[in-house]
Structure 1
Amino acid sequence: MNTEETTMDRMRSRPRFKMYTSLSPEEYSQNLKAYLKKHGKYFAGNINPQTAVITVITEYDHYWKPNLALRTELEDGRTAVRGIFGPSAAVWTFFMFLYFLFGILWMVFITLWFVGEKIKIDDYTWALPVSFVTLALIILTYLASLWGQKKAAHEMKLLRKFAISSTLPHEAAETTPAE
């Protein structure tokens, strides 16, 4: 039995997707604007010929509020649409900064403690408990990201439905261009 996997089926396991459409980038953005206007009660967004950012309208706004970022570009005479689901780039950057900062601090503290133990001085005994505090901060950052993802799960489902119903009807078959 041969089963086919569509672009939207691949989105279940990955927050990124790429599809080809039979529309030009301008036609695609006009189609997206019309679809957004039709469903403006539930979704808001900013749509340009090359990029679009779609969000779900809710009564509350939390730090992990997801959006759907779409980018259109021409590849070998066809229009490719690349989509990314997730929080804003500022939120991703902030969490990566925290992981980097706490990771570097942990390495510094554990190295200070280890070197102090090896050369048999008691000046850095404080570094071991501080390294455990830093590990706890890393775990808290991770738990905060999981909490944000869980809080945004319903909105992610709505954005996925938006992506399916607004782009799937215009998906073109993936064919390799002639060489």
Structure 2
Amino acid sequence: MTQKVPIKSLLSRPRFKVYTNLSKNEFIKLIKKYLDQNSEEYGGYVNREVAMIRVRKGKDKYWHPQLQIRIEEDEEDNSNYLVVRGIIGPKPSIWTFFAFLYGLSGAIFITLGSYTLSEYIVKNESVWIWSIPFSILLAMGTYFASLYGHHLAKYQLGRLYHFVNIVLNAADFYENHKN
């Protein structure tokens, strides 16, 4: 029985949430086993709560994505289900950097733009008029840089999606063939 993880799009930090009857230890062992078997392609670590998986491709580039898997027991339902949540996206440092650049461009636009508008209304001229196109260019540059990074990481996104599908299909197989 093969099924695919329900990810609607690989465009912007795709997330998934699936359930399995495996215990935490069984699921962790399954991830570790697959990481060991495919150590030339995948790297990362697994602990009791989280797994972090990366595609190995020569040296790890700054823009390469990673797969974060959170393993938790289903507390909403008193069943024996294990909830596996995942997100495929850039490293936290990249995500923070781009958020900073968007915030900076917004702050420049609002702060200096307001000052420019006030000064222009009062004096009919402003030396800060450059701040408005600068903030727009900064936001657009950040957006296009993120698109370029996404383009560069497309192969790794696909490989991480493949990793998720293989591990969860193996979990499904293991679950169906338990005693």
TM-score w.r.t. the length of structure 2 is: 0.85
Give the deviation of 1:121 after TM superposition: 5.3
- The equivalent residue for 1:132 is 133
- The equivalent residue for 2:9 is 13
Give the residue type in structure 2 aligned to 1:18: K
- The equivalent residue for 2:73 is 74
Distance in 1, matches of 2:154 and 2:8, equals 12
How many positions carry a matched residue from both structures? Answer: 164
Distance in 2, matches of 1:7 and 1:115, equals 56
1:7–1:18 contact (8 Å) kept in structure 2: no
2:94 to 76, 91, 111: 91
Answering whether residue 115 of structure 2 is matched by residue 112 of structure 1, we say yes
1:7–1:17 contact (8 Å) kept in structure 2: no
1:36-86 CA distance string (max 9 Å, x none): 111111000111121100000011332211010001001133100000001
Give the residue type in structure 2 aligned to 1:54: I
Q: 1:40-79 alignment to 2 at 5 Å?
A: 40-75=39-74, 76=77, 77-79=80-82
Give the residue type in structure 2 aligned to 1:134: S
> Runs of 5+ in structure 1 lacking a partner?
1-5, 173-179
Answering whether residue 34 of structure 2 is matched by residue 27 of structure 1, we say no
Q: Secondary structure at the match of 2:9?
A: coil
Q: Secondary structure at the match of 2:57?
A: coil
2:108–2:131 contact (8 Å) kept in structure 1: no
Give the deviation of 1:169 after TM superposition: 3.5
- The equivalent residue for 2:155 is 154
Give the deviation of 1:138 after TM superposition: 1.1
> Runs of 5+ in structure 2 lacking a partner?
174-179
TM-score w.r.t. the length of structure 1 is: 0.85
Give the deviation of 1:12 after TM superposition: 3.8
- The equivalent residue for 2:171 is 170
Identical positions, percent? 32
Q: Secondary structure at the match of 2:123?
A: coil
Give the deviation of 1:119 after TM superposition: 2.2
